[in-house]
């Protein structure tokens, strides 16, 4: 029987919290946290780039492809 290649699965939970502002014209600041499921390691962030850098610890994300994570 041939060795079957098992997929390498890495999972994350991302939580965003948006602060409420008093005026609708002012953009609401946000913060968030991201947790790597397999290790239970967590990172808090206020910039999306920090979340992407955390993901890079577990997933080889190419720096030249801006759409790799951001869609």
Give the pLDDT confidence of 16-70 residue by residue, as tens digits: 998 887 777 777 788 999 999 999 999 999 999 999 999 999 998 776 655 555 5
Say what the pLDDT of residue 2 is: 59
Residue linked to tokens 């080889």: 60
Note the pTM of the prediction, 2 decimals: 0.69
Residue 35 included in any domain? yes
Residue 55 included in any domain? yes
Total structural domains within the chain: 1
Say what the pLDDT of residue 34 is: 98
Q: Write out the residue range of the structural domain in which residue 36 sits.
A: 10-19+27-60
Give mean pLDDT, residues 7-21.
Answer: 90
DSSP 17-67: EEPP-SSTTSPPPEEEEEEETTTTEEEEESSHHHHHHHHHTTS---TT-TH
Residue 4 included in any domain? no
Say what the pLDDT of residue 10 is: 94
């Amino acid at each position: 029987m041939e060795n079957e290649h098992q997929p390498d699965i890495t999972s994350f939970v991302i939580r965003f919290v948006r602060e409420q502002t008093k005026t609708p014209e002012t953009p609401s600041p946000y913060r968030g946290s991201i947790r790597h499921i397999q290790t239970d390691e967590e990172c808090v962030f206020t910039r999306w780039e920090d979340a992407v850098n955390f993901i890079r610890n577990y997933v080889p994300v190419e720096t030249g492809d801006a759409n790799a994570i951001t869609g």
